């Protein structure tokens, strides 16, 4: 492993700009790393080395010619495989899309290309982003670089393990109930779910349209900010995208600030159910923040109790409709049963063979929740809970500028531990789901190791809608407090990844 | 598929009260589709006007066509509806291969326009006020062609082809409230209603409004109940009725069919039915119940449509004259008798006559030409008047030539035929063929004298007051003048001669 890949994105950007290193060198170093570790950790479903090197070499030429380049030009990146790319298959982790090469690039992918960022490949995920472990990927799970017997979080375990294994300096994730933040927590990385609408969803294979949001995955708060500045902005193709700019996240991350900030500890997200080591690290961070001048308050969000229940009605309802298009007629898998079958039977056989168990579970749940006679009791009630959660948060934000909690109740669990217990699996997202239901930004940053297993734990910061910059200010401050206490970066605690036979 | 047993129409109306409800789909003529930038032109080579959005590729998202919203508001306002200040789209979920996303993006509980009324005049002259429940926006599905089998239906077909050019074409669906009280005129009212909707959307310029092309499509709901009953009867929804004549026939057929079943103690199955124009009957489609579960829910990929009050008022101010107001105005301006005017309306000649009058013709002359000779020639050719190559300007010129006495009616008809044959304008034809009537009294007198020379007794007969004898001389003069004489003038000159 060359030292090049150990650098944070912001450092590589500087080295590229000052020509200490070429994009081809940086890109090749990461491709080499992928070749070395991907057979073990399975972060990437598809590696686009040739295309990435072409972009890198083009950027190098333009830089050599003295051309003014975008800030992140030449910096390689990994993209979650639920964003469409015209030069690589896009599977969303499902058999039903095996080998599908989209006819168009997602808006975010277009922005990355316009920035001159070489795309290293497409990262693994639970099928259609339904899951917390990547165990529901049709292409096998990704592994946690901290302990390959453990899950890298999900659904974005491909992106988190790619960044945590130094296979990519940055990655794109998507977060419907925690799919960026939970993987960040269990791999010691940074993940940010922006305000709903801050980043265009055009080209993101929808799970639940009203909850999905694309965001950055990185190894530092500043790196995440640099990436968010590239991908954020209004897109006429996504009418739910915000018309206004939220400002520069990089500026916010470069100006850490805690002075006078009121930090609200969410009463409902601590104590029972939270692993002791996770809770202990969280309590220590609160003390650090207080010592650094922040005001600590406790806030009450009583409706959070119903968040998971509401989420698991709204999400499946929307997903059952979003996934109806996978019917074999226009793209993807087609399974034709014997005996001159009708189109109905072809659709049914295709969906039976192409969808995995968790996808089927949620389609059935959602179809039921939207059914005539049940709509009000299920989907209707869930939308009411959503409103209550928004009200809880609005009240909490009157008392605090930023809300905090552990990102997840536990550290990374072992493969197979929760696969047969959907309810236990769903509980991983207890702290992350409210942000999606309310459309507010949420950031997960590393919060030290839990002593009982030596694995990373995370802390989540929430801000009101459109106040993403505030999260970057506070998170950057906490990150620097941590590094002062630890004497190094979180990822420097990680054991050397053992690969091969 | 046998024709069902029918009850005599008059008998059916004696026993039952007819309730109809009409759903009209209007296809908007926007440049692009409802939710994407594809050309709204589904007659092109199949699957050429498609993109990731209208074929529902994974990851694609809809964006609302602003022009389609404005057109929908215009339709709503023209139907006297209120316009919703905010309205969400919903998803109507069902699997069908012509539906790219397997859900239709439509408006469900929040239509853009609601609660309007429209006055419908039917051929008898009776006027009914039809209450509009709602007008909402939605997207069309693709077009399926079933290959193999002999029904053209999906059942029995070997395979089916899908053309997604039509997928995502913007539609406005206009739904009436139940229409009660039209009695035996319900079929005529249904047809007249659809005709009015066509006229309105055409006048608004928001649709090509051609039924034969499916720009305007009607589903007719029909139910019967015993006189005095409060509860509505079970309805059927007849689809595929795509001409005004078919609508009238289909409603009449359903009344007679249902009456027969109910009178025999049977019950009506709630279902969709198909209209077969060739056999003049409906056949059972699929059962349809109110519990059809489309799992509607608000479309999360779209923000609500929120037309500003300014926009609504701007559209209201730019609305063209309502067709029924226009009819009232024109009848008054032209001073047509009710019967004359109704003939014009029923023949669909309002536009032509208005333009002819604007081109300088007198209203009665314009009416006579269009409903008379032009209509007769069209009929003889089995064509619609609009298909003939004669313009209102031509007719105005023709009428003026006759009015000024330059040609007579008979020559006028000859000139019209020449116009249709593409020989030029009436004035050109009259000049080229030398058809102008002989108005030179000297020439006419010479011809009269020639005729009297061979029939000298006529003079005496006239002097004795036996005017019928004049006919022979007038006829001879007209013949000598090759018809290009004013017969009335010839008669005057002849009488003058006799009195000399």
Same domain, B230 and B369: no
- Residue A184 confidence (pLDDT) above 70: yes
CA geometry: angle at B444 spanning B439 and B446, to 5°?
145
pLDDT, position A54: 98
Same domain, B99 and B240: yes
Buried (b) or exposed (e) across A342-367, using 16+ Cβ within 10 A? ebeebbbbbbeebbbebbeebbebbb
> How much is the mean pLDDT over chain B?
91
Contact assignment for B97 to A329 by CB distance below 8 Å: yes
Q: Which residue has the tokens 């072992």?
A: A414
A318 touches chain B (CB under 8 A): yes
Same domain, B243 and B270: yes
pLDDT in tens, B165-200: 999 999 999 999 999 999 999 999 999 999 999 999
pLDDT in tens, A315-332: 999 999 999 999 999 999
Q: Which residues of A touch B61 (CB under 8 A)?
A: 201-202, 237-239
Q: Is A461 helix (H, G, I), strand (E, B) or coil?
A: strand
Domain that holds residue B337: 321-433
Closest of A264, A274, A268 to residue A304, by C-alpha = A268
Count of C-beta atoms within a 10 Å radius of residue A480: 14
Same domain, B464 and B397: no
Residues of B (281-310) whose Cβ lies below 8 Å from A: 291, 293, 295-297, 300-303
Contact assignment for A324 to B63 by CB distance below 8 Å: no
Work out the minimum CA distance from A82 to partner chain B, whole angstroms.
8
Query: Which of B283, B298, B315 is at the close of a domain?
Result: B315
Q: Which two tokens stand for residue B299?
A: 């479309």
Same domain, B269 and B339: no
pLDDT band for B387, please (50, 70, 90 cuts): confident
Query: Which of B413, B433, B453 is at the close of a domain?
Result: B433
Q: CB of A453 within 8 A of CB of A276?
A: no
B324 touches chain A (CB under 8 A): no
B61 touches chain A (CB under 8 A): yes
Same domain, B235 and B296: yes
B71 within a domain of the structure (yes/no):
yes
pLDDT in tens, A395-446: 999 999 999 999 999 999 999 998 888 888 888 899 999 999 999 999 999 9
Question: Residue B332 burial (CB < 10 Å; 0-12/13-18/19+)?
Answer: exposed
Same domain, B129 and B173: yes
From residue A240, alpha-carbon distances to A28, A92, A195, A348, B327 in Å are 38, 22, 11, 32, 46
Q: Is A306 helix (H, G, I), strand (E, B) or coil?
A: helix
Q: Which two tokens stand for residue A497?
A: 């990844």
Helix axes B426-433, B409-420, angle to 10 degrees: 110
Contact assignment for B300 to A208 by CB distance below 8 Å: yes
Count of C-beta atoms within a 10 Å radius of residue B460: 11
Question: Residue B23 burial (CB < 10 Å; 0-12/13-18/19+)?
Answer: middle
- Would you put residue A285 in left (φ > 0), alpha (ψ -120 to 50) or beta? alpha
A37 within a domain of the structure (yes/no):
yes
Q: Which residues of A touch B297 (CB under 8 A)?
A: 317-318, 321, 370, 375, 379
Choose the closest CB to B95 out of A210, A347, A371: A347
B3 within a domain of the structure (yes/no):
no
* Domains in chain B, number: 3
pLDDT, position B152: 66
Q: Which residues of B touch A367 (CB under 8 A)?
A: 295
pLDDT, position A501: 45
Q: How far apart, in whole angstroms, are the C-alpha atoms of residue A419 and residue A426?
A: 10
Query: Which of B281, B296, B315 is at the close of a domain?
Result: B315
B211 within a domain of the structure (yes/no):
yes
Please report, for the domain that includes residue A109, its CATH number.
Answer: 3.90.1300.10
Residue A104, CB-side half-sphere exposure with 13 Å CA sphere: 19
B228 touches chain A (CB under 8 A): no
- Can you spell out the DSSP letters for B17-69? EEEEEEEEEEE---SB-SSSSSBS-TTSSTT-S--TTTTT-TT------HHHH
Contact assignment for A236 to B61 by CB distance below 8 Å: no
Q: CB of B20 within 8 A of CB of B178?
A: yes
Which DSSP helix (H) or strand (E) runs through A381?
Answer: helix A381-399
Same domain, B257 and B325: no
**Residues of A carrying an active site annotation:** 80, 155, 179
B4 within a domain of the structure (yes/no):
no
B460 within a domain of the structure (yes/no):
yes
A359 within a domain of the structure (yes/no):
no
Q: How far apart, in whole angstroms, are the C-alpha atoms of residue A392 and residue A456?
A: 29
pLDDT in tens, B440-452: 788 888 888 888 8
Q: How far apart, in whole angstroms, are the C-alpha atoms of residue B174 and residue B21?
A: 11
A452 within a domain of the structure (yes/no):
no
A78 within a domain of the structure (yes/no):
yes
Contact assignment for A84 to B58 by CB distance below 8 Å: yes
Please report, for the domain that includes residue B487, its CATH number.
Answer: 1.10.10.410
Same domain, B138 and B178: yes
Q: Which residue has the tokens 């029972």?
A: A272
pLDDT in tens, A72-103: 999 999 999 999 999 999 999 999 999 999 99
Q: How far apart, in whole angstroms, are the C-alpha atoms of residue B403 and residue B26?
A: 43
Same domain, B203 and B326: no
Domain that holds residue A80: 3-258
Contact assignment for A103 to B160 by CB distance below 8 Å: no
Q: Which chain A residue has its CA at the smallest distance from B301's CA?
A: A209
Percentage of chain A exceeding pLDDT 90: 93
Same domain, B446 and B421: no
A492 within a domain of the structure (yes/no):
no
Closest of B92, B234, B93, B108 to residue B173, by C-alpha = B108
Question: Residue B293 burial (CB < 10 Å; 0-12/13-18/19+)?
Answer: middle
Work out the minimum CA distance from A344 to partner chain B, whole angstroms.
8
Count of C-beta atoms within a 10 Å radius of residue A99: 10
Same domain, B348 and B368: yes
Q: Chain centroid to CA B15: how far?
A: 32
* Domains in chain A, number: 1
């Amino acid at each position: 492993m060359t030292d090049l890949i150990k650098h944070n994105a912001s450092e590589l950007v500087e080295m590229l700009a000052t020509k200490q290193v070429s994009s081809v060198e940086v890109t090749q170093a990461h491709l080499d790393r992928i070749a070395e570790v991907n057979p073990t950790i399975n972060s990437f479903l598809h590696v686009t080395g040739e295309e990435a090197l072409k972009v890198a070499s083009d950027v190098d030429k333009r830089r050599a010619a003295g051309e003014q380049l975008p800030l992140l030009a030449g910096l390689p990146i990994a993209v979650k495989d639920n964003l469409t790319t015209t030069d690589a298959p896009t599977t969303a982790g499902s058999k039903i899309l095996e080998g599908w090469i989209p006819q168009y690039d997602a808006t975010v992918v277009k922005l990355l290309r316009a920035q001159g960022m070489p795309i290293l490949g497409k990262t693994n995920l639970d099928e259609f982003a339904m899951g917390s472990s990547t165990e529901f990927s049709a292409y096998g799970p990704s592994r946690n670089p901290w302990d390959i017997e453990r899950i890298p979080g999900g659904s974005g375990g491909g992106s988190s393990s790619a960044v945590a294994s130094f296979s990519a300096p940055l990655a794109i994730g998507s977060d419907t109930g925690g799919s960026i933040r939970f993987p960040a927590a269990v791999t010691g990385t940074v993940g940010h779910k922006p305000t709903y609408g801050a980043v265009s969803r055009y080209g993101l294979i929808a799970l639940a349209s009203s909850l999905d949001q694309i965001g950055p995955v990185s190894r530092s708060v500043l790196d995440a900010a640099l990436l968010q500045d590239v991908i954020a902005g209004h897109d006429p193709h996504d009418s739910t995208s915000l018309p206004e700019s939220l400002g520069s996240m990089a500026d916010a991350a470069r100006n850490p600030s805690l002075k006078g900030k009121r930090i609200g500890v969410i009463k409902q997200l601590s104590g029972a159910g939270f692993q002791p080591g996770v809770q202990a690290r969280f309590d220590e961070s609160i003390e650090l923040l207080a010592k650094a001048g922040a005001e600590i308050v406790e806030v009450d969000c009583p409706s959070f109790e119903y968040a998971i229940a509401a989420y698991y009605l709204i999400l499946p309802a929307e997903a059952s409709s979003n996934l109806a298009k996978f019917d074999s007629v226009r793209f993807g898998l087609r399974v034709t049963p014997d005996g001159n079958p009708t189109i109905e039977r072809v659709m049914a056989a295709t969906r039976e063979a192409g969808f995995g168990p968790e996808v089927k579970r949620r389609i059935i749940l959602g179809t039921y929740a939207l059914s005539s006679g049940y709509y009000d009791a299920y989907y209707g009630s869930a939308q009411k809970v959503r409103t209550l959660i928004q009200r809880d948060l609005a009240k909490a934000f009157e008392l605090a500028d930023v809300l905090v909690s552990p990102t997840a109740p536990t550290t990374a669990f072992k493969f197979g531990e929760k696969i047969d217990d959907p309810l236990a699996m769903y509980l991983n997202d207890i702290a992350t789901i409210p942000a999606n239901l309310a459309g507010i930004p949420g950031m997960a940053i590393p919060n030290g190791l839990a002593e009982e297993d030596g694995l990373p734990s995370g802390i989540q910061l929430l801000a009101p809608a459109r106040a993403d910059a505030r999260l970057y200010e506070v998170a950057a401050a906490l990150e620097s407090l941590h590094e002062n206490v630890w004497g190094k970066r979180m990822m420097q605690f990680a054991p050397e990844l053992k690969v091969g036979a | 598929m046998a024709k069902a047993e029918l009850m005599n129409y008059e008998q059916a109306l004696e026993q039952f009260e007819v309730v109809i409800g009409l759903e009209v789909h209007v296809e908007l003529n926007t440049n692009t589709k409802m939710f994407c930038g594809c050309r709204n032109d589904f007659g092109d080579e199949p699957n050429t006007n498609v993109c990731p959005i209208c074929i529902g590729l994974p990851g694609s998202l809809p964006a609302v066509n602003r022009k389609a919203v404005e057109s929908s508001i215009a339709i709503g306002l023209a139907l006297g509806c209120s316009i919703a200040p905010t309205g969400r789209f919903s998803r109507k979920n069902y699997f069908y291969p012509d539906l790219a996303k397997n859900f239709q993006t439509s408006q469900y509980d929040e239509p853009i326009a609601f609660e309007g009324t429209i006055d419908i005049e039917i051929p008898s002259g009776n006027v009914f006020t039809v209450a509009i429940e709602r007008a909402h926006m939605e997207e069309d599905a693709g077009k399926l062609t079933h290959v193999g089998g002999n029904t053209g239906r999906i059942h029995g077909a070997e395979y089916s082809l899908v053309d997604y050019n039509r997928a995502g074409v913007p539609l406005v669906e206009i739904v009436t409230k139940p229409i009660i009280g039209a009695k035996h005129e319900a079929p005529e009212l249904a047809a007249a209603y659809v005709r009015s909707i066509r006229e309105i959307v055409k006048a608004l310029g928001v649709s090509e409004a051609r039924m034969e092309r499916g720009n305007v499509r009607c589903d007719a709901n029909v139910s019967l109940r015993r006189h005095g009953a409060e509860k509505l009867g079970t309805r059927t929804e007849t689809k595929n009725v795509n001409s005004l004549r078919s609508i009238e026939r289909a409603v009449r057929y359903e009344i007679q069919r249902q009456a027969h079943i109910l009178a025999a103690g049977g019950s009506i199955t709630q279902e969709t039915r198909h209209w077969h124009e060739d056999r003049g009957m409906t056949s059972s489609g699929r059962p349809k119940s109110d519990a059809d579960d489309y799992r509607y829910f608000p479309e999360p990929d779209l923000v609500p449509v929120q037309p500003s009050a300014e926009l609504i008022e701007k559209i209201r101010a730019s609305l063209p004259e309502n067709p029924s107001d226009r009819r009232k105005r024109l009848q008054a301006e032209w001073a047509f008798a009710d019967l004359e005017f109704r003939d014009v309306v029923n023949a669909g000649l309002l536009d032509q006559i208005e333009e002819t009058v604007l081109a300088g013709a007198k209203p009665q002359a314009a009416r006579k030409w269009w409903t008379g000779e032009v209509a007769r020639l069209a009929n003889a050719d089995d064509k619609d008047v609009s298909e003939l190559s004669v313009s209102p300007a031509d007719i105005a010129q023709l009428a003026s030539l006759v009015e000024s006495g330059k040609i007579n009616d008979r020559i006028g008809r000859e000139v019209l035929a020449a116009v249709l044959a593409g020989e030029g304008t009436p004035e050109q034809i009259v000049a080229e063929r030398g058809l102008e009537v002989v108005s030179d009294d000297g020439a006419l007198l010479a011809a009269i004298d020639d005729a009297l020379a061979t029939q000298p007794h006529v003079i005496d007969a006239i002097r004795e007051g036996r005017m019928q004898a004049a006919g022979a001389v007038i006829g001879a003069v007209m013949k000598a003048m090759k018809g290009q004489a004013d017969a009335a003038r010839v008669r005057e000159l002849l009488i003058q001669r006799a009195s000399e």
